[in-house]
Amino acid sequence: MTSPSFQFTLKTTDGGARRGQLTTAHGIIETPVFMPVGTAATVKAMTVDDVWATGAMIILANTYHLMLRPGPERVERLGGVRRMMGWDGPLLTDSGGFQVMSLGSLRKIDADGVTFRSHLDGSSHRLTPERSTDIQRMLDATITMAFDECTPFPAEYDVAAESMRLSMDWAERCRKAFQSRPGYGQFGIVQGSVYPDLRAESVARLDAIGFEGYAVGGLAVGEGQDAMFSTLEATTPLMDADKPRYLMGVGKPDDIVGSVARGIDMFDCVLPTRSGRTGQAFTPRGTVNIKNARHADDPRPLDETCSCPACQKYSRAYLHHLFKAEEVLGLMLLTRHNITYYQRFTAEIRTAIEAGQFTDYAASFYAERAKGDIPPL
């Protein structure tokens, strides 16, 4: 059977908010979409069936971590990440650029690529645009990301400019190395820190190269929400309206609402899974720390509007007990709850845009969160 083409359809808009559909070789993605992070070919504390049950349509895997363990050649022999982990839907892989940047003194950047030492055993490795692109092919990524240098924040203008231009040179090399296949795509990454003219230059460079989609990188790295939103306002109007737009590493629910309003279609973040493992749950009225003593005798569900097992079968008191007793089940239940919340939340956004009511939805969203968690009995 012939694979479908990789195609983004912009169905409707509501102000700056966009409602779209992305067709890939491995399934259809309705946007705006939140993508759970499966760093090492697993969404932590969740089975693949659990991830599907939340309504997730696409997940992420991490090039840096998988190249170190178990190794891309081994993953390729096992049929790629999707087959290895039993995930039947689309897969996006990051390029390793962010992880390499975070290594600090353990990495050395030059015009050709990056040499770094593994955080696992100190062994030396080399990543270039070509190698990163080929590793992602071996991982069988539905969406391959261009290899870039994620500019740290804060960065002086000249430093940000040099970093962005290096990433654009690498993007061109990534595109040449990418092996086009039906239903597969590659995204370029817009860089330039918080400087509008550098962002504009980056968008123009990537447009000239030509990708199936475009990401906004180098945000959610400490610049704060106001700077992130103003950077998006200067950037997204310049981006191709007929291609998907992905804001990398974001994030918090209020960041997502504000970014959708500014034209973003795709999001990912470790926050819901990491928070679930530490006892923090997301609800329409904000976050709840289930470890707090106020929940010890509370027979009510965590969120009575949620369909996940944690909310349908168990009380706050039981979830509190699981975390106090350091039982693994607590991590599993709260992680699934958080991913369920994010999928329901983004589905509500899609519905609101379709109805031309996104502004009203956003106002209601912020008003509900301002109320805070329900008081104890």
Residue 275 lies in a domain: no
Residue 339 lies in a domain: yes
Give the separation between CA 335 and CA 53, rounded to whole angstroms: 13
Boundary of a domain, candidates 218, 248, 269: 269
Residues 67 and 211 in one domain: yes
Residues 182 and 317 in one domain: no
Work out the angle at residue 75's Cα, subtended by the Cα atoms of residues 73 and 78, and round it to the nearest 5 degrees.
Answer: 110
Q: How many domains does the chain have?
A: 2
CATH number where 231 lies: 3.20.20.105
Name the one residue in this structure whose structure tokens are 């239903």. 183
* Mean pLDDT per 10-residue interval, the chain, length 377 residues: 86 98 98 98 98 98 95 98 98 87 78 90 93 98 96 94 97 98 98 98 98 96 96 98 97 97 98 98 97 97 97 98 98 98 98 98 97 89
Query: Is 311 within 8 Å of 302 (Cβ atoms)?
Result: yes
Residue 2 lies in a domain: no
Residues 146 and 294 in one domain: no
CB under 8 A, 24+ apart: contacts of 125-128: 125/67, 125/68, 127/64, 127/67, 127/96, 127/100, 128/173
14 is catalytic: no
Residues 246 and 300 in one domain: no
Residue 314 lies in a domain: yes
Residues 200 and 158 in one domain: yes
* Catalytic choice (14, 94, 255, 265): 94
Residue 377 lies in a domain: no
Using DSSP's 3-state secondary structure scheme, residue 45 falls into coil
Residues 34 and 59 in one domain: yes
| pTM beyond 0.85, yes or no | yes
Residues 102 and 237 in one domain: yes
Which residues are within 8 A (CB) of 365 and not within 5 positions of it... i.e. 6 or more apart?
253, 254, 257, 284
Give the separation between CA 93 and CA 26, rounded to whole angstroms: 14
Boundary of a domain, candidates 269, 300, 334: 269
Residue 376 lies in a domain: no
Residues 314 and 222 in one domain: no
CA distances 267 to 35, 115, 195, 220, Å, are 6, 29, 22, 12
* Catalytic choice (14, 50, 140, 268): 268
pLDDT single digits (tens) 41-78: 999 999 999 999 999 999 999 999 999 999 999 999 99
Residues 285 and 263 in one domain: no
Boundary of a domain, candidates 269, 297, 317: 269
94 is catalytic: yes
Residues 234 and 293 in one domain: no
Residue 1 lies in a domain: no
Residues 133 and 61 in one domain: yes
Give the separation between CA 202 and CA 167, rounded to whole angstroms: 9
Give the separation between CA 75 and CA 117, rounded to whole angstroms: 21
- What is the reported pLDDT for 215? 98
Residues 109 and 194 in one domain: yes
What is the span of the domain harbouring residue 315?
281-371
Residue 239 lies in a domain: yes
